[in-house]
Structure 1
Amino acid sequence: MTLEEKNQNDILNEFNDPNEIEFIFSDKPINRFKTKPEVEDKISLLAKLKNDLQNIKNCELKESAKKLVFSDGNSNSKIMIVGEGPGQKEDEVGKPFVGDAGLLLNKMLKAININRQDIYITNVVNYRPPNNRKPEPAEITRYSEYLRKHISIINPKILILMGSTAMESLFGSKIKISKERGNWKDVIINNKSYLTMITFHPAYLLRQPEQKKYSWADLKEIRKKIDELEINL
């Protein structure tokens, strides 16, 4: 086993350590019913947004990518995760977070008693940047308009921004993720405030495993807030 593989395994094991996690469970009944008009409206709005992205013009990302990577998970979830953009594996499959970073994300969620299929996941940009480069500022700005619509449609109670690109798309480029992560913030979209947590992207943790302790602290804060708000997953 190489040193890099050992470091990655250490990350996965630490995020999956049950001895560090305290869970708070509620005995209140879960309301699993949605009114039919509300569900149909959300479905139609998501379909329209997806169609708009499929028909975006003059976009280098779209021209070089294989597939649109729109979203994954439960569109009725109150937890929404926003990543950076698709990598090679995501571009092939057409879903976000299915490569190595996706495997780590699954472990991170499991460590705080969350199943991936119970939350909603998307990215800032929906097409793979050439050579997996970071999205350029103009691309982040352009796609942030679609992202804001996406967030408004899903209407989460907790919004998790993973990585600097996700942070920049909603908060601008003048702040640094190393200083902003781990603190609850409010972002206003269409006159509505969304409770937001900024944290490191799983791909960054694979490259910088010494930062995992900060992400673990962020995850515990997210779990705590989920329980405080009595969000059922």
Structure 2
Amino acid sequence: MTATQTAAVPPSLLDVLLFYVEAGCDEAIGDRPVDRTSLLPPKPAAAGGAPRPQTTPAPVTPAQVMPKPAAANPALLSAQAAESAATQLAAACHSVAELEAAIKGFTGCALKATATNTVIARGNPNAPLMIIGEAPGRDEDAQGAPFVGESGQLLDKMLKAIGRDESNVYISNVIFWRPPGNRDPSSEEILACKPFIERLIALCRPKVIACAGKFAAATLLGTTQGITRIRGRWQEYCRDDLVIPAMPLLHPAYLLRQPGVKREAWRDMLTLAAKLEEMS
């Protein structure tokens, strides 16, 4: 077969493949070119249509691959927001009347939604003695005044025994709305109300403070000890420019449950009376 005859014979598919192998081609590809620098595989063209143009995706930035920070605790954010709002409202009040209006209009404490009344204070805001309890109970919620139930009646008798009544005593609580079922107030509820009771003290500037119960003592004096250990021991309430002698007392409700400790409570009342006499 001459060279002219060999050229006239078309090569077989096997001959073509052997040619490409000898030329260094070791991979078979499709009918259309593939951009192998792309991060995403090309989408197939629609049937019967022209092939879609290849697009290069936008580069991935470090911010897209960095792990996202953990989500903040919504309850904690809510408590902090309520405390911040209460602090701003309280600071803007320059009289007891303004503060009472601010407390009644405050919606940052969830207890307000289940309470009948906002319970703030009773007595004389100019009195030398300020007694601060924990939270309103059923009777207080119904009447809108602190310490008016059975424990409040016992407190009035104790005050009367040392020559005190609503004319020379001012009575309030660290919480202004009744916790359902008379349960203990939560830390979030205390945070929401604390700026208001601190502002009330700053406006009244009593000579002596009596903290009735563990929550009042913990909130105002920062103590972590039980009330039975610190009762009757003088401490100091310190806020900004105020330094006021403060006496932790057993709550009257506790005295009703444990009448055997009334002797210790009476000694504390006598100590309280002596301090007021000394300061007058």
TM over 0.5: yes
> Are 1:137 and 2:196 counterparts?
no
The percent of aligned pairs where both chains have the same amino acid is: 37
1:108 is matched with: 158
Equivalent of 1:203 in 236, 253, 256: 253
Runs of 4+ off more than 3 Å: none
1:86 is matched with: 136
Equivalent pairs counted in the alignment come to 188
> Are 1:76 and 2:137 counterparts?
no
2:146 is matched with: 96
Which has the bigger relative contact order, CA under 8 A and spacing at least 6?
A: 1
Following TM superposition, by how much is the alpha carbon of 1:65 offset from its aligned partner in structure 2, in angstroms? 0.3
Q: Distance in 1 between matches of 2:192 and 2:222?
A: 13
Instruction: Indicate if the aligned counterparts of 1:181 and 1:199 stay in contact, CA closer than 8 A.
Output: yes
Structure 1: give runs of 5+ residues left out of the alignment. 1-42
Following TM superposition, by how much is the alpha carbon of 1:173 offset from its aligned partner in structure 2, in angstroms? 5.4
Following TM superposition, by how much is the alpha carbon of 1:141 offset from its aligned partner in structure 2, in angstroms? 2.5
Q: Distance in 2 between matches of 1:183 and 1:72?
A: 26
Q: Flag the 1:100–1:228 CA change in 2: closer, same or farther, 3 A.
A: same
Equivalent of 2:101 in 29, 35, 51: 51
Instruction: Indicate if the aligned counterparts of 2:94 and 2:203 stay in contact, CA closer than 8 A.
Output: no
Equivalent of 2:230 in 180, 190, 202: 180
1:119 is matched with: 169
3-state SS of paired residue (1:116): coil
Scaled by the length of structure 2, the TM-score of the pair is 0.64
Structure 2: give runs of 5+ residues left out of the alignment. 1-92
Query: What CA RMSD, in Å, does the superposition of the two structures yield over aligned residues?
Result: 1.5
Scaled by the length of structure 1, the TM-score of the pair is 0.77
Q: Distance in 2 between matches of 1:59 and 1:193?
A: 28
2:263 is matched with: 213
Equivalent of 2:115 in 46, 50, 65: 65
> Are 1:155 and 2:180 counterparts?
no
Instruction: Indicate if the aligned counterparts of 2:127 and 2:206 stay in contact, CA closer than 8 A.
Output: yes
Q: Distance in 1 between matches of 2:223 and 2:277?
A: 31
Instruction: Indicate if the aligned counterparts of 1:152 and 1:190 stay in contact, CA closer than 8 A.
Output: no
Following TM superposition, by how much is the alpha carbon of 1:44 offset from its aligned partner in structure 2, in angstroms? 5.3
3-state SS of paired residue (2:132): strand
Instruction: Indicate if the aligned counterparts of 2:128 and 2:168 stay in contact, CA closer than 8 A.
Output: no
Following TM superposition, by how much is the alpha carbon of 1:191 offset from its aligned partner in structure 2, in angstroms? 2.2
